[in-house]
């Protein structure tokens, strides 16, 4: 059923467009062009900037698409919810699936690009990739179950989400280098806490840093220059991801229960 629903969503999404799934590839390319331009203007020199940007951006896109699709998934399928009995959770799950499909497509092209562009893969770091992928999926699924259910009763959630995602995007080291943040924040203390540690409480920052470490690989790409990625040991990063995985699984459990509790009333609230 889930597979059928994902297939349906994809078909509906691309069926009336000439380029179809190519749109999903065009989006990161345009982003890349824009941010390369911006980076050039600000003389922000990151070696292999496309690889740096895309390794974080694709993960972010997956997260943001899941959240946006998931939040409206129940409302958009009101005609199904009101007329048929089926496990409601497959609606937000299918938006995870749709985002994952786009992410897979983009990643496939991106991985080829990394290989061809001469940046190449960095081996111990690459092992982070499966871990960070699982963390991302679990975390995004948990949040999207929550927003999907809440959005049925309070349509504010959808609007709020768009703003939240905008803030969240810039609070995450996707376009700028993680090391810059670390450098600035490590000496500042807020309420007795290290500001850099507080920054890392943003789960998506941990996720994006994970993707960057796995795919961009090098912390200090050019000897003698400033680092690009924050100075965290590989095992430290794996530890952060594992901790986030634990939290995400707990979140998923709670979100699932809350969704289940609310889903019985969807048909009359729509």
Partner 1 sequence: MTTAIRIDGISKMFRLYRERPTSLKQRLLVSRSRSEEFWALRDITFDIAEGSSMGLIGHNGSGKTTLLKCIAGILRPTAGTIRYHGRLAALLELGAGFHPDLTGRENVYLNASFLGLSRRETDRIFDDVVAFAELEDFMDNQVKFYSSGMLVRLGFAVAVHVDPEVLLIDEVLAVGDESFQRRCLDRIRRFQADGRTIVLVTHALDVVRDVCDEAVMLDHGTMHAIGTPDDVVRTMRHRMLSDDPTFVPEQGSREVEISGVAIESEGGFRDTVRPGEGLTITVDLRADVPVTDAAVSFAIVSGSTNHPVLEGKTSELGVSLGPVDRKKRVRFRIPPAPWVSGTYFVTVGLDSADGRLFHVQTQHYPLTVPDVDHAVHALAARPTVEIEDL
Give the interface with partner 1 as residue ranges (CB under 8 A).
Answer: 1, 4-5, 7-8, 11-12, 15-16, 79-86, 153-156, 264-265, 267-268
Nearest to 209 by CA among 243, 163, 176: 176
* Two structure tokens written together for 184: 């600035």
- Provide the minimum distance between the beta carbon of 2 and partner 1 in the complex, in angstroms, as a whole number: 9
Residue that is written with structure tokens 């889903």 in the block:
263
Residues making up the chain, counted from first to last? 270
Residue 193, beta-bridge partner list: 190
- Provide the minimum distance between the beta carbon of 204 and partner 1 in the complex, in angstroms, as a whole number: 23
Instruction: Tell me how far apart the alpha carbons of residues 19 and 220 are, in angstroms, rounded to a whole number.
Output: 39
Residue closer to partner 1 (CB basis): 225 or 269: 269
Residue closer to partner 1 (CB basis): 6 or 100: 6
CB 66 within 8 A of CB 96: yes
Helices 90-117 and 128-153, axial angle in degrees (round to 10): 150
- Provide the minimum distance between the beta carbon of 264 and partner 1 in the complex, in angstroms, as a whole number: 4
- Provide the minimum distance between the beta carbon of 63 and partner 1 in the complex, in angstroms, as a whole number: 23
Residue closer to partner 1 (CB basis): 98 or 241: 98
Residue closer to partner 1 (CB basis): 156 or 225: 156
Residue closer to partner 1 (CB basis): 7 or 122: 7
Handedness of CA 52, 133, 2, 263 (dihedral sign): negative
Burial class (CB in 10 A: 0-12, 13-18, 19+), 16: exposed
Reduced to 3 states (helix: H, G, I; strand: E, B; else coil), residue 205 is helix
Residue closer to partner 1 (CB basis): 91 or 232: 91
- Provide the minimum distance between the beta carbon of 255 and partner 1 in the complex, in angstroms, as a whole number: 19
- Provide the minimum distance between the beta carbon of 99 and partner 1 in the complex, in angstroms, as a whole number: 19
Reduced to 3 states (helix: H, G, I; strand: E, B; else coil), residue 190 is strand
Reduced to 3 states (helix: H, G, I; strand: E, B; else coil), residue 257 is helix
């Amino acid at each position: 059923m889930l597979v059928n629903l994902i297939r349906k969503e994809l078909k509906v999404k691309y069926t009336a467009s000439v380029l179809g799934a190519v749109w999903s590839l065009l989006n990161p390319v345009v982003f890349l062009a824009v941010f390369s331009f911006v980076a050039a203007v600000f003389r922000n020199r990151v070696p292999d900037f496309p690889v740096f940007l895309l390794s974080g951006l694709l993960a972010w896109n997956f997260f943001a698409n899941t959240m946006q699709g998931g939040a409206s998934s129940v409302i958009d399928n009101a005609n199904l919810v009101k007329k048929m009995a089926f496990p409601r959770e497959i609606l937000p799950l299918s938006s995870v699936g749709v985002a994952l499909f786009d992410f897979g497509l983009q990643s496939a092209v991106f991985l080829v690009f990394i290989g061809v562009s001469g940046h190449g893969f960095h081996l111990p770091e690459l092992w982070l990739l499966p871990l960070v992928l699982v963390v991302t999926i679990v975390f995004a699924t948990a949040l999207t179950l929550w927003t999907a259910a809440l959005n049925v009763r309070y349509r504010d959630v959808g609007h709020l989400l768009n703003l939240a995602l905008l803030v969240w995007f810039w609070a995450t080291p996707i376009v700028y280098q993680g090391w810059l943040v670390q450098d600035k924040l490590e000496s500042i203390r807020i309420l007795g806490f290290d500001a850099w540690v507080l920054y890392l409480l943003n789960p998506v920052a941990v996720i994006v840093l994970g993707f960057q470490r796995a795919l961009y690989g090098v912390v200090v790409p050019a000897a003698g220059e400033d680092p690009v990625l924050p100075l965290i040991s590989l095992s430290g990063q794996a530890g952060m991801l594992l901790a986030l995985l634990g939290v995400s699984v707990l979140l998923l459990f709670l979100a699932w229960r809350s969704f289940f509790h609310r889903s019985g009333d969807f048909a009359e609230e729509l």
